[in-house]
């Protein structure tokens, strides 16, 4: 799939774009979409996308199992979302205040999420997690926030996993616990004493580079009980998991409702939007904090969100993705057995993570993903992947065919 | 302009939307676009916009002198920007990595801004100012940042003007000085000692509710000299002023180049985008920090930005807005003299702030703006306003006619 030796890459192709980017962007790229975080051979630049597929800047097509790291949940260019976007765009987007669609969206969010009495909207997942913490502190008059070790809550100084350029003070008033470990959570609550403002926890454990875990019922109930006892806020960071596991908050599957929740990623099928939802008891605190941004009232992403939520319900999104993901998981298990390669598949069906046994250096995962990429499937060797509703069984079969090339590459190595 | 007594507001009109919003949004609205920050009678919701005009949810049309608080710089629905948006949207927006247009945009930004050797892109102005501070700390290995009293650099906990829900630690490692006061800046630098990481300063002084000031040459040169002497970063926050005063960084007008600059607002004519630009000497630090967001590689706002920057150059934006703003300022001065009302007009021509003498309680400003609103001009009584390139002399005449109603309201009160 690489250009034949001796031939130039197409003008505007990945290699040419990387060379230009190296001149005008530090190290050529920033953040989680930096292709240097992936095995060699992965493209950095993408030219277009449709449904369950994506094309790189060299024109190669892939079944897209990253879905832009979560946002694409109905599929690229979903026609219902595109129509809603076109209709709102024709009226207006960034105005001197919100458009009527903001009310419609907040009503839809409050109606669908059990704990939600109100909604506020932002642009980044980090905006939403930060606002949750701010509202929790405003409501309780306390400062200490409990965060699970290894959990990702965004890339602002208080939560970035890479502290370069941040200060100790950015992480003041934080204590750590281990996800799904009730004793460690209880110990952190005890350590917080009378200053416990909030426990923040992701919808499920999707830390980088370790097997994913669903929250245990005991852990979820303990988190709720400890917050109730202390008068603190339970915050679910559903930025990554939200809407793919359940129509409402991911912890509704366990019958546990938080006080505040953070949303983004899949909320508007790729349009930039985030949300904070909260219980009525946190409404007055939410009204007192000052959080805002120049584009937070942009109407087009809100129209996209209303359409996205509607389509999610119409097609029964979580069930559909779970069925499709179950088909993929079973197929992967068969391949792993056939090739006698130890494969751990973890997390919800709709957000699979594939890690290989005996692969501390990710040599196996890298060889697997490189071969699968060359065979037309865009996978990730360390991070959970994402299904979208435009994916078909035929797409999953194509992924499994590409995965077979991956297993063969592992065997050959 | 209000509905005749006894008649219902139209369905979906402002009053009905406010009532619905009050149920699902804390206090009915958040942030700087909350209409409760304006005199009674201002609409909260907007239905559409075109060029230099905006329509509220009750169908009333206004000459728009807020331009969405800055982002709308060419005018609502600029045809060239809309065409670029449509073309990129048809290909893809939120992908597994950037589209080629990201390189094109970063090249355009580096080419046009004198100090810029590289660019990074975000969503919010706060993302950009925060990344500047993070990069400055990473580059210097120091923590202390100097911030002008009253300057607005965003709404994250380290910089929000309303500290409810934030902690003392969020504002650790900060010292204050007074804008345009060299002695106070020197004193803050001395107080920072060997820990000075950066001085951050807005493109001009546009603090809320006080007369605007252009930076003095002595102040700008002192900031540059003090940073050079200390090996610290000079950061210009051009989020609000950027591109309206000058084709490049606003301080280029003074011949002073910063090390890092933050941009947003006008960069993409209303599409959600922000940028950090920096000198080559800060490139390696910028490559080390981890800042990212789910939508930061969205290609559509980048395509909008490329088109916006091109159109700015084609029409000679700063000159055009200055000419139009000068016409408005002269007309306002004539009206103030005719009605013998003390009016202070401050700031650049393209971003006027109007404050009345003897108006500590803003009674005059409020009466003025209410009357002007009823006469079809959307103004602000306390915050600087913004012109855009779709405004015409006829629009300015309409604003002046509405302002005349405002002066008459002041006289009548």
Has residue A4 got a pLDDT over 50? no
- Does residue B247 sit in helix, strand or coil? coil
Has residue B9 got a pLDDT over 70? no
Note whether A58 and A150 are same-domain residues.
Answer: no
Q: What is the mean pLDDT of residues B386-410?
A: 98
Has residue A1 got a pLDDT over 50? no
Burial class (CB in 10 A: 0-12, 13-18, 19+), B339: middle
CA distances A250 to A8, A342, B324, Å, are 48, 30, 53
Q: Which two tokens stand for residue A21?
A: 């980017």
Q: Does B244 touch chain A (CB under 8 A)?
A: no
| Chain A residues touching B158 at Cβ < 8 A | 157
What confidence tier does A10 reach under pLDDT thresholds 50, 70, 90? Answer: low
Question: Which CATH number is B367's domain given?
Answer: 3.90.1150.10
Calpha distance A256→A258 (Å, rounded): 7
Residue A9 placed within a domain: no
Nearest to A123 by CA among B71, B135, B252: B71
pLDDT reported for residue B12:
81
Residue B92 placed within a domain: no
**Partner-chain residue, chosen from A110, A133, A271, that has the shortest CB–CB distance to B24:** A110
pLDDT tens string A164-185: 999 999 999 999 999 999 999 9
Residue whose structure tokens are 């903001």 = A102
Q: Does B119 touch chain A (CB under 8 A)?
A: yes
Q: Does A19 touch chain B (CB under 8 A)?
A: no
Has residue A9 got a pLDDT over 60? no
Nearest chain B Cα distance for residue A84, angstroms: 14
Q: What is the mean pLDDT of residues A267-281?
A: 98
Has residue B8 got a pLDDT over 60? no
Residue B95 placed within a domain: no
Q: What is the mean pLDDT of residues B17-32?
A: 98
pLDDT reported for residue B42:
98
Note whether A187 and A295 are same-domain residues.
Answer: yes
Note whether A20 and A105 are same-domain residues.
Answer: no
Note whether A309 and A326 are same-domain residues.
Answer: no
Has residue B249 got a pLDDT over 70? yes
Q: What is the mean pLDDT of residues B355-379?
A: 97
- Does residue A339 sit in helix, strand or coil? coil
Q: Does B255 touch chain A (CB under 8 A)?
A: no
Note whether A123 and A200 are same-domain residues.
Answer: yes
Rounded to the nearest angstrom, the gap between the alpha carbon of residue B350 and the centroid of all alpha carbons in its chain is: 12
- Does residue B22 sit in helix, strand or coil? helix
| Chain B residues touching A72 at Cβ < 8 A | 94
| Cα A112-A115-A119 angle, rounded to 5 deg | 70
Q: Do B106 and A296 touch (CB under 8 A)?
A: no
Residue A173 placed within a domain: yes
Residue A4 placed within a domain: no
The answer for residues whose C-beta is within 8 angstroms of residue B146's C-beta and 6 or more apart is B174, B175, B176, B177, B185, B188, B189, B192, B196, B198, B199, B200
Listed residues A315, A339, A355: the one ending a domain: A315
pLDDT reported for residue B266:
98
Cα nearest neighbour of B26 on chain A: A287
Has residue B70 got a pLDDT over 50? yes
B 265-324: CB under 8 A from A: 265, 270-272, 278, 283-298, 301
| Cα A323-A326-A329 angle, rounded to 5 deg | 155
pLDDT tens string B135-155: 999 999 999 999 999 999 999
Nearest to A271 by CA among A292, A245, A301: A301
Q: Do B134 and A167 touch (CB under 8 A)?
A: no
Q: What is the mean pLDDT of residues A83-100?
A: 98
Nearest chain A Cα distance for residue B337, angstroms: 30
Q: Do A120 and B44 touch (CB under 8 A)?
A: no
Residue whose structure tokens are 């992936």 = A38
Q: What is the mean pLDDT of residues B316-324?
A: 98
Q: What is the mean pLDDT of residues B255-272?
A: 98
Note whether A61 and A174 are same-domain residues.
Answer: no
Q: Do A155 and B93 touch (CB under 8 A)?
A: no
Calpha distance B126→B117 (Å, rounded): 21
Has residue B130 got a pLDDT over 70? yes
pLDDT tens string B173-195: 999 999 999 999 999 999 999 99
Note whether B292 and B325 are same-domain residues.
Answer: no
Domain count, chain B: 2
CA distances B393 to B313, B325, B328, B384, B389, Å, are 21, 10, 8, 20, 11
Question: Which CATH number is A200's domain given?
Answer: 3.40.640.10
Q: Do B286 and A164 touch (CB under 8 A)?
A: no
| Chain A residues touching B19 at Cβ < 8 A | none
Note whether B247 and B114 are same-domain residues.
Answer: yes
Nearest to B218 by CA among B180, B246, B255, B168: B180
Q: Which two tokens stand for residue B120?
A: 């990074």
Nearest chain B Cα distance for residue A121, angstroms: 9
Domain that holds residue B385: 14-76+317-412
Listed residues A279, A294, A315: the one ending a domain: A315
Nearest chain A Cα distance for residue B216, angstroms: 28
**Partner-chain residue, chosen from A165, A272, A278, that has the shortest CB–CB distance to B137:** A165
Has residue B4 got a pLDDT over 60? no
Note whether A239 and A115 are same-domain residues.
Answer: yes
pLDDT reported for residue A12:
81
Nearest chain A Cα distance for residue B51, angstroms: 11
DSSP state for residue A198 in the 8-state scheme: E
Q: Share the mean pLDDT of chain A.
A: 96
Has residue B5 got a pLDDT over 90? no
Q: Cβ distance B268 to B304 under 8 Å?
A: yes
Q: Do B94 and A71 touch (CB under 8 A)?
A: yes
What confidence tier does B10 reach under pLDDT thresholds 50, 70, 90? Answer: low
Q: Cβ distance B312 to B243 under 8 Å?
A: yes
Q: Share the mean pLDDT of chain B.
A: 96
pLDDT reported for residue B347:
97
Residue B304 placed within a domain: no
pLDDT tens string A194-249: 999 999 999 999 998 999 999 999 999 999 999 999 999 999 999 999 999 999 99
């Amino acid at each position: 799939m690489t250009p034949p030796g001796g031939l130039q890459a197409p003008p505007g192709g990945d290699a040419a774009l990387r060379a230009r980017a190296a001149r005008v962007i530090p190290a050529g790229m920033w953040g989680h979409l930096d292709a240097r975080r992936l095995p060699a051979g992965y493209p950095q630049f993408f030219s277009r996308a449709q449904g369950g597929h994506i094309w790189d800047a060299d024109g190669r097509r892939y079944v897209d199992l990253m879905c832009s790291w979560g946002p694409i949940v109905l599929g690229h260019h979903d026609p219902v979302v595109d129509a809603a976007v076109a209709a709102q765009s024709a009226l207006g987007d960034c105005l001197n205040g919100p458009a009527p669609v903001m009310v419609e969206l907040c009503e839809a969010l409050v109606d669908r999420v059990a704990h939600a009495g109100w909604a506020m909207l932002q642009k980044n997942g980090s905006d939403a997690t930060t606002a949750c913490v701010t509202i929790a502190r405003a409501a309780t008059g306390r400062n200490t926030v409990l965060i699970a070790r290894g959990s990702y809550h965004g890339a602002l100084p208080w939560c970035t996993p890479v502290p370069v350029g941040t200060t100790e003070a950015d992480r003041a008033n934080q204590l750590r616990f281990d996800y799904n470990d009730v004793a460690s959570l209880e110990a952190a609550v005890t350590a917080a004493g009378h200053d416990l403002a909030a426990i923040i926890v992701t919808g499920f454990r999707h830390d980088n580079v370790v097997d994913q875990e669903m929250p245990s019922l005991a852990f979820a109930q303990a988190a709720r009980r400890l917050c109730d006892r202390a008068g603190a806020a339970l915050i679910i960071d559903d930025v990554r998991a939200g809407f793919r596991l359940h129509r409402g908050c991911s912890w509704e599957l366990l019958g546990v409702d938080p006080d505040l929740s953070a949303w983004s990623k899949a909320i508007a099928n790729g349009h930039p939007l985030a949300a904070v939802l909260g219980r009525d008891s946190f409404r007055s605190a939410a009204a007192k904090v000052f959080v805002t941004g120049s584009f937070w009232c942009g109407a087009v992403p809100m129209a996209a969100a209303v359409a996205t939520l509607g389509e999610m319900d119409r097609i029964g999104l979580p069930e559909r993705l779970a069925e499709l993901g179950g088909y993929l998981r079973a197929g992967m298990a068969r391949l792993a057995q056939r090739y006698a390669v130890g494969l751990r598949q973890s997390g919800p069906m709709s957000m699979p993570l594939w890690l290989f046994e005996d692969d501390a250096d990710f040599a196996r995962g890298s060889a697997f993903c490189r071969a699968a990429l060359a065979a037309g499937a865009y996978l990730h060797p360390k991070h959970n992947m994402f299904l979208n509703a435009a994916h078909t069984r035929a797409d999953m079969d194509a992924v499994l065919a590409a995965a077979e090339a991956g297993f063969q590459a592992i065997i050959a190595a």
